């Protein structure tokens, strides 16, 4: 079931990304000019250290408005997510799921309630937060060359352009001397978007200098209420077709003209639209008036919203609750393991009793 859903969301990201190709999330963009400032491309690890990621762990929607297709796995597995790979041994993965089940089932009644799942989701989300904080310390050092505890926009701009293949020393000299930089249009577009985000992360009084905490908001806006608002504005801007700063269902699920080429693609698009429609109507549009406001989208985006976590817990339980008792038994989680792990594992239902 999840393999199909993952494929649907993957395709959705593909055609929607055509609309947002000039946004800052395009971390693989390379300057198209042949400027003498260019040198060999920087290591991708360095580039990822200083660019805001387009994928935010533990958040239901990406910065560009795509639904996070890995959200269920992220809030159920946490740090263990990478251990569940498609080529992993089924028996070992089954044992890992059993361990996770026992951790979620805090009252040891052999079943998971919505409240227990909610607590677990909040715990895993906080885990993602703490991981981002630790990574941010390393990333901040990478862009703070003088170690003064603050990063200026020019310092960041130099590191960013170096990550794009420009000569760092020559770029730094030109910026210091206020000389014109020969930057292609695409890279300049990304820089402009980054500078907007930089301004938003710069807490009062604004000085265009980011400390470590502000830099965390720049890289991970889910950590800051103010940056969450900015991210919502960006999503509304990209999806809002009539300019009223609200989203209708048709705007949220709209597809670019010419996307569908054959019946198979049509079926995929139909299912993708169905998923987007359900998320819009059942979750994001909290007052069910057919319109999603910035406030509603902000609440939906907030990863530490306990109501959203409870709602997500109920949805996750409903997927695998075969006996309709509003709880999850171990057998149900094992049978629907692909939904919770994202891995194409064997059918656990045939083997679960071998473990007892």
CB 345 within 8 A of CB 108: no
At 192 the three-state DSSP class reads helix
| CA 161 – CA 143 distance, rounded (Å) | 12
Would you place residue 214 in the very low, low, confident or very high pLDDT band (cuts 50, 70, 90)? very high
Average pLDDT over residues 194-216: 91
Average pLDDT over residues 268-284: 81
Buried b (16+ CB within 10 A) or exposed e, 126-150: ebbbeebeeebeebbeebbeeeeeb
Question: Is residue 257 over pLDDT 80?
Answer: no
Residue 1 CA from chain centroid, whole number: 21
For 3, 58, 111, the CA distances from 342, given in Å and listed in that order, are 7, 15, 22
Would you place residue 343 in the very low, low, confident or very high pLDDT band (cuts 50, 70, 90)? low
247-248 and 209-210 strand pairing: unpaired
Q: Which of 60-74, 89-103, 210-224 has the lowest mean pLDDT?
A: 60-74
| CA 248 – CA 2 distance, rounded (Å) | 27
At 328 the three-state DSSP class reads strand
| Predicted pLDDT of residue 205 | 86
Average pLDDT over residues 68-76: 85
What count of residues does the chain have? 356
Single pTM value for the model: 0.69
| CA 38 – CA 98 distance, rounded (Å) | 53
Would you place residue 67 in the very low, low, confident or very high pLDDT band (cuts 50, 70, 90)? confident
pLDDT digits (tens, 9 = 90+) for 133-169: 998 998 898 888 788 999 999 999 998 899 888 999 9
247-248 and 151-152 strand pairing: unpaired
């Amino acid at each position: 079931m999840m393999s199909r859903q993952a494929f649907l969301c993957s395709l959705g990201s593909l055609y929607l990304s055509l609309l947002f190709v000039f946004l800052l999330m395009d971390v693989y963009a390379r300057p198209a000019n042949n400027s003498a400032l260019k040198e060999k491309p920087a290591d991708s690890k360095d580039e990822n250290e200083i660019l805001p990621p387009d994928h935010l762990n533990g958040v239901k929607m990406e910065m560009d408005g795509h639904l996070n297709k890995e959200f269920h796995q992220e809030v159920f597995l946490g740090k263990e997510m990478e251990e569940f790979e498609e080529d992993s041994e089924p028996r070992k993965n089954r044992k890992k799921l059993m361990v996770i089940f026992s951790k979620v089932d805090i009252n040891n009644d052999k079943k998971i309630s919505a409240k227990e799942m909610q607590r677990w989701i909040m715990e895993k989300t906080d885990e993602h937060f703490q991981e981002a904080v630790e990574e941010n310390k390393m990333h901040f050092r990478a862009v703070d060359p003088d170690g003064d505890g603050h990063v200026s926009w020019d310092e960041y701009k130099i590191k960013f352009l170096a990550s794009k293949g420009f000569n760092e020393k020559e770029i730094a000299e030109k910026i210091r001397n206020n000389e014109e930089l020969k930057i292609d249009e695409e890279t300049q577009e990304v820089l402009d978007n980054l500078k907007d985000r930089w301004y938003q992360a710069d807490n009062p009084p604004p000085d265009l200098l980011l400390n470590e905490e502000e830099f965390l908001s720049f890289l991970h806006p889910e950590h800051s209420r103010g940056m969450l608002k900015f991210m919502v504005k960006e999503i509304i801007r990209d999806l809002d077709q009539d300019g009223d700063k609200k989203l209708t269902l048709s705007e949220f699920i709209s597809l670019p003209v010419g996307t569908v080429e054959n019946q198979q693609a049509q079926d995929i698009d139909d299912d993708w639209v169905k998923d987007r429609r359900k998320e819009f109507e059942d979750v994001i549009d909290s007052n069910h008036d057919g319109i999603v406001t910035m406030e509603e989208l902000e609440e939906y985006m907030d990863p530490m919203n306990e109501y959203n976590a409870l709602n997500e817990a109920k949805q996750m339980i409903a997927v695998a609750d075969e006996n309709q008792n509003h709880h999850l038994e171990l057998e149900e989680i094992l049978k629907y393991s692909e939904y919770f792990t994202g891995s194409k594992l064997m059918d656990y239902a045939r083997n679960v009793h071998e473990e007892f």
